[in-house]
Amino acid sequence: MKKLVIVLSVIGLLFILLLSFMSSSIETPEYEVLRVLGKKVEIRRYPSLVLAQTDLDSNTYSQNSSLGFRRVAGYIFGANDKGEKIAMTSPVVMEMGARTQLAFVMPKQYEMEALPHPNSTTVKIERKAERTLAVLRFGGYTNDQKIEQKAAELRDLLRKEGILHEAKLIYMGYNAPWDFIGRRNEVAFELK
């Protein structure tokens, strides 16, 4: 039991240390704001992006965020065929449906073919096609209930505006756990 507590403490500390690299000074994907709905929702066009991602079995933030983060962070911190470290970007993106995909956007200086291959079979390098998202931004710390509350708010606004969207919820988190001020979270849906 004592060993388990120590192992879990070390994993938790590593998770916190890795998240510390996420700050406003790190690279975030560029996007174009096409329209603003109300005061909170942006319709954004994202270009094609290269992602390091992992598939997870459940559909909740709480069950997936830590495991998914560790898998993909391992890849960018050198668990790849070149032992190469890749800069952390922001946000961490979780696409939640029946299953969840957690991904880091690869820095824009990398072409997909130039990225090292992951050592783990649970991490894949994928190209995400250009897409348009409706995005609702919110602050503070998050959990499954807050994500679902904000997703419901976004769904309601899109329904009222007559904007069709995919069912899969996208969550984007930008901050390390100890960033108390100016926390940035977003929920999004891809538009049809």
- What is the secondary structure of 53-66 as a DSSP string? EEEESS--HHHHHH
Please state the φ and ψ torsions of residue 41, each to the nearest 5 degrees. Answer: -110, 130
The pLDDT of residue 77 is above 60? yes
- Token reading at 32: 């174009």
Spatial separation of the C-alpha atoms in residues 31 and 26, rounded to whole Å = 16
pLDDT of residue 154: 98
The answer to whether residues 184 and 125 touch, using CB atoms and an 8 Å cutoff, is no
Please tell me the pTM assigned to this model.
Answer: 0.83
- What is the secondary structure of 67-117 as a DSSP string? HHHHHHHHHHTT-BTT-------S-EEEEESSSEEEEEEPPTT--GGGSPP
CATH number for the domain that contains residue 27:
3.20.80.10
Percentage above 90 pLDDT, the chain: 73
Q: Residue 133 sits in which domain range?
A: 2-190
- In total, how many domains does the chain have? 1
The pLDDT of residue 67 is above 80? yes
Q: What pLDDT digit, counting tens, does each position of 101-155 carry?
A: 999 999 999 999 999 999 999 999 999 999 999 999 999 999 999 999 999 999 9
Q: Which of 17-26, 44-53, 172-181 has the highest mean pLDDT?
A: 44-53
